[in-house]
Amino acid sequence: MTPHDKFFEYDGQRISYREGEVLLACAQGLTIEQTAKKLFISQHTVKTHREKLRLRFSLQGYTKLVWFATKLQPELEKWIK
């Protein structure tokens, strides 16, 4: 089993490895373009992950997503190496 097969559980919801990478990038203050380059994915994919996470955790706007990501940052950093 690779790290990409694992899920991070938070508040009864699953976060995929890639979603975790995108969340961590949000916590680190990376832009959509910077995140896409770092993870070798399209900007559209980054936007999609952000929006799905925002909706899944009922977060109102990008600022709340960054707050959420910052809250989870220590745990995400342990999980994503």
Give pTM, 2 decimals.
0.90
Q: Considering all CA atoms of the chain, what is the largest pairwise distance in Å, rounded to the nearest integer? A: 35
Query: What are the pLDDT tens digits along the chain (81 aa)?
Result: 455 567 888 899 999 999 999 999 999 999 999 999 999 999 999 999 999 999 999 999 999 999 999 999 999 999 887
pLDDT at residue number 81: 77
Residue 70, burial from CB neighbour count under 10 angstroms (0-12, 13-18, 19+):
middle
Collapse the DSSP code of 40 into the 3-class scheme (helix H, G, I; strand E, B; otherwise coil) and give the result.
coil
- CA distances from residue 55 to 5, 9, 28 in whole angstroms, order as listed: 23, 16, 21
What is the per-residue pLDDT for 47? 98
